């Protein structure tokens, strides 16, 4: 396991706060209130470990399959439905939504190999990630992948807690399946808009692993 580069600043700030709070606690209250001092150390240590864990990149054997569309994110499948596309596409699509809790790995990966046909950031609200309107009203970044003429769209969607979406791909770029496409900080959601003839391989409640689980096949 390694730590993602997006976590360097957050972890550094967390370490400084952890050290400062506990040094002050040790010098000023450790003798008079040792139990409070110990509880403060325990709580701040848990918070520090949580922040470090949030930016983890676990070692995985990624799925590389020309016919597969792999999960762009870890999380829980909360939506599988036919929708009318409202961005880039004008036809109907199958939407598969993956909700990412703060405990999930938050690295986002390319679901297929091919070319980036579209990459666009949208400012927006911070509704809870499972809200039906979060897909169209929240801050988000949309990417369309073109693989041999077949296209799919991936939306990175900010939630009530997530306040920063990072995306690394640009229109015209050639990408590989499983490579990093971005990162979302602290709880969020990722939507896939797939062709109607895509064969869905997951069901509601499944817990896919980014870059590993096959969500659908062409």
Question: What is the set of active-site residues?
Answer: 188
CB 88 within 8 A of CB 65: no
d(CA 2, CA 122): 30
Residues contacting 175, CB < 8 A, separation 6+:
110, 113, 114, 115, 116, 145, 169, 181
C-alpha torsion sign, points 71, 77, 83, 84: negative
Answer left, alpha or beta for residue 75, where phi above 0 means left and psi between -120 and 50 means alpha. left
Among all chains, which residue has been given the structure tokens 């817990």?
207
Residues contacting 181, CB < 8 A, separation 6+:
72, 108, 109, 110, 143, 154, 167, 168, 169, 175
């Amino acid at each position: 396991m390694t730590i993602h580069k997006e976590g360097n600043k957050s972890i550094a700030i967390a370490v400084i706060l952890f050290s400062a709070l506990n040094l002050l606690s040790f010098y000023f209250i450790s003798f008079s209130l040792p139990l409070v001092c110990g509880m403060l150390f325990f709580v701040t240590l848990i918070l520090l470990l949580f922040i470090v864990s949030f930016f983890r990149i676990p070692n995985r054997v990624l799925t590389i399959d020309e016919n597969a569309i792999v999960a762009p994110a870890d999380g829980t499948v909360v939506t599988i439905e036919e929708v009318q596309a409202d961005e880039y596409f004008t036809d109907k699509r199958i939407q598969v939504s993956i909700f990412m809790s703060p405990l999930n790995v938050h690295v986002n990966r390319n679901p297929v190999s091919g070319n980036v046909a579209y990459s666009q950031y949208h400012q927006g609200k911070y509704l809870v990630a499972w809200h039906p309107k979060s897909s169209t009203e929240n801050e988000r970044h949309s990417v369309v992948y073109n693989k041999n003429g077949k296209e799919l769209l991936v939306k990175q969607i900010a939630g009530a807690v997530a306040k920063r979406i990072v995306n690394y791909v640009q229109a015209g770029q050639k990408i590989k399946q499983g490579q990093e496409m971005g990162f979302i900080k602290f709880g969020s959601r990722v939507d896939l808009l797939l062709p109607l003839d895509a064969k869905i391989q997951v069901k509601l409640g499944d817990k896919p692993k980014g870059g590993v689980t096959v969500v659908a096949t062409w």
